[in-house]
Amino acid sequence: MSTVSNTSTTSFLGSYSGITSDTIDQLIAAESGKLTQYQNNQTKLNNEKDAWRDVQTRLDNLSGKLDGLQDEATFNAKTVTSSDGGRVAATVGTTAVPGNYKIEVTQLATQTRLTSGTIAAAAGKKSDADLALTGTLTLTNQDGKPSDEITIETTDSLKDIIGKINKQSKTTGISATVIGEQLVLSDSKMGARSIEASGSLAESLGLNKNATGAAQAKQTAGQSAKIMVNNDIEITQDSNTLTDAIEGLTLTLKEAGTTTVTVAEDLDKPIAAVKDFISQYNSALSFIGDQLDVGDPSAADNKTGKLVGNSSLMQLQSSLRSLMTTQVKNGNAAGDYSSDLGISVDRYGQLTLDEGKLTALLKENPTAAASFFEAEVDTGKTVTKDGITEKVMAKVGLSQKMATLLNSYVDKNDGIIATKNKTYDNLIADITGKIGLFNERMETKRAQYVATFTALDKAMMEAESQLSYLTSQLGTSGQS
């Protein structure tokens, strides 16, 4: 029995009935309303998921700005200047006390050096020439820490010997170099210290301090640094970098003489941090508002936000606005409301900053400004653990409260957005499966339509053939 291929079946379709592939496409399209509904729902879910992803990005950025406001260095930042950086350079930490400090450098710290006497084996030779010496050398610093025994071989030059000494510098603190035909040993630490050389080659290398004449090694003792602060406090240290001479200051001494170091409050850093926070807060709140926008319900082509009516996002919007207008109750009346810092909130929840007011508060009471963002207060409760009773403290600062709120949304494991993403993924996957099944059913129905209408065309063809045959027979019969 002969078969008709799909291609020939499709081309035969409609030959007699007039029902073509286009007709079947129209029938399938008429039954595809459910598919359109699935696709629209899937698009809506993807749009909502994308919107939540963008919300998370903005909340993450806002969290970063909150970190800056909780950083101790932000509101305790200081600036430092030196009247002569070529004499005394200074860096400042958060604990430095503002003021002027007169620094008189009376003496710089220096290293102890041991310069060898004449080295007979090196006379008239370059530093890389063999010395033809064999033996050992041990070096010991002021702390009594000796080097490992250094073995000198007959083919070693002065350059080879200093290489072996310097290999142990991290242990001994003693480094070596060659100047002319002599060895020069230096202690890495400063101050009055000593360097001792021993071993069978100590004298041959000119490192014996008890030798006589040109062979005697000469030690130049180092000295401590000495400074006078504000004309009445003398400080002596075995370094030209003083980290604890003045609280919060690191002084690097470069040259003898007098310099004035000035420490002041750094107002630019906290102001910049508050501005950055306000900018990111406004951006986040504006974006949230766009996603919740109901548009113009009366308009025929009304466009709404992707998350319009979403209760979780509405709660976030409300909570953020409330935090900016609520008293923080930090126990500091000078910085208990955002308005105390010059921050105002308009009817849309957007923040603006009166920089002059913030600057004045930072000058008069920087602690009040800092405590608005970060503060802990005693709740009056206690907790006992392992026999130790401690007070229960509450974090009431704006940054702390807002960080807690944001974390409830952006936490990668248990956050509201992470939970929603899982739900969206499940819903989208479910719809994708339904679309696949629907398309399979439509393909099956299409095949049924093609088979049915092809059979109709064949039946019509056969009927026409039979009619022609009967007509021809009747005609022949009439002629006879």
- Model confidence pLDDT, tens digit, residues 126-152: 999 999 999 999 999 888 878 889 999
Residue pLDDT, tens place only, 89-110: 999 999 999 999 999 999 999 9
Under a CB-based contact definition with an 8 Å cutoff, are residues 222 and 187 in contact? yes
Q: Are 176 and 244 in contact (CB under 8 A)?
A: no
Which pLDDT value is given to residue 206? 95
Question: What pLDDT score was predicted for residue 6?
Answer: 47
Is residue 282 within 8 Å of residue 345, measured between CB atoms? Answer: no
CATH number (1.10.10, 3.80.10, 1.10.3470, 3.30.70) of 111-220 reads 3.30.70
217-244 mean pLDDT: 96
pLDDT confidence of residue 444: 82
Average pLDDT of span 388-399 = 92
- CA dist list (Å): 209 to 169, 214, 246, 438, 452: 21, 11, 40, 100, 117
**Amino acid symbol at 433:** G
Segment 164-185 mean pLDDT: 94
Contact indicator for 446, 1 with CB cutoff of 8 Å: no
DSSP 110: -
Supply the pLDDT for residue 1: 37
Q: What CA–CA distance (Å, rounded) separates 108 from 226?
A: 7
pLDDT digits (tens, 9 = 90+) for 243-278: 999 999 999 999 999 999 999 999 999 999 999 999
- pLDDT score of 85 more than 70: yes
Q: What is the mean pLDDT of residues 55-77?
A: 94
Q: What are phi and psi of 237, to 5 degrees?
A: -145, 150
Rounded distance, CA 340 to CA 318, Å? 22
pLDDT at position 16 = 60
More confident residue, 38 or 189: 189
Q: Are 239 and 314 in contact (CB under 8 A)?
A: no
424-446 per-position pLDDT tens digit? 999 999 999 988 888 888 888 87
pLDDT at residue 14, rounded to an integer: 57
**How confident is residue 39, by pLDDT bands cut at 50, 70 and 90?**
confident
Numbered ranges of CATH 3.30.70 in the chain: 111-220
Percent helix / strand / coil, the chain, rounded to 5: 45, 20, 30
Instruction: Name the DSSP letter for residue 338.
Output: G
Distance CA 280, CA 57 (A): 11
One-letter amino acid of 231: N
| Phi and psi at residue 350, to the nearest 5° | -75, 145
Specify the DSSP element, H or E, that contains 265: strand 257-265
The full 3-state SS of 260-309, as one line of letters, equals EEEEEECCHHHHHHHHHHHHHHHHHHHHHHHHHCCCCCCCCCCCCCCCCC
* Per-residue pLDDT band at 7 (split at 50, 70, 90): very low
89, burial (CB in 10 Å: exposed 0-12, middle 13-18, buried 19+): middle
